[in-house]
Amino acid sequence: MLAKRIIPCLDIKDGKVVKGVNFEGLKDVGDPIEIAKRYDQQCADEVVFLDITATYENRDIIKDLIQRAASELSIPLTVGGGIRSLDDFRMILSSGADKVSINSAAIQHPGLIKQAADEFGVQCVVVAVDAKKRKDDDGYDVYIAGGRKNTGIDLLKWVQQCEQLGAGEILLTSMDKDGTRDGFDIEMLNAVLDVVSIPVIASGGCGDKEDIVEVFEKTNCDGALAASLFHYQEATIDDVKALCAQHHIPVRRNL
């Protein structure tokens, strides 16, 4: 069995890691390279940089960060936020990132998934999906624009289309769970895992290291993404992996 991945996510604004709730009340908490290096030393399997104010003017900032990260980190780097074109893919990958995560642009221009997969390889293409259960409990809708716009697209149909177009993996965020810190959305994850064969990363709802063990025990997801748990230093990645190992969950560890 392949080792499960533990992935910290860093929200970046104007070149700094920030914390807040729904992008409000943001506080500068440090340099992304220094924070990512700490996670690298703790044996994170990869790290995600999410450019939350991804405007054209900010592209030089994120490019510089990617180049610095590529020179100082030993783990893979995924970059997302405001990716709209193949040129954005080219800039991010040529700067040293290993993967590019797209969200709204994939919905608006599904062909971008195929174009990117054809040019750069499926292993470089991550489709981030934000979804929420419908009020009638009959399935899930996909949202874009930072969770502000309901596309009306069915989650399960969308992830299947992403796989067919060449997505290498799905980063699935449950909007119902996001920010609650009471555990991942096991039901949603299993529904998606039942219809795709590409890797799925769980996101949204992680409150403690036990939540990560639970998601690996109750689903077949390939990785778990968390932010506050690690940023607030409530647990280290080493702590999480030690607990996973106690539960016989395969993880890569420093020895």
Which residues are annotated as catalytic?
11, 130
Can you tell me the distance from the alpha carbon of 65 to that of 163, in angstroms, rounded to the nearest whole number?
Answer: 30
Contact of 222 with 205, CB cutoff 8 Å: no
User: If we measure between CA atoms, which residue out of 194, 196, 208 comes closest to residue 162?
Assistant: 196
Contact of 94 with 66, CB cutoff 8 Å: no
Report the Cα 218 to chain-centroid distance in Å. Answer: 20
For the chain, strand residue ranges (E) read 5-13, 16-21, 24-30, 47-51, 77-80, 99-102, 125-133, 140-144, 149-154, 169-174, 200-203, 223-226
Can you tell me the distance from the alpha carbon of 171 to that of 79, in angstroms, rounded to the nearest whole number?
Answer: 12
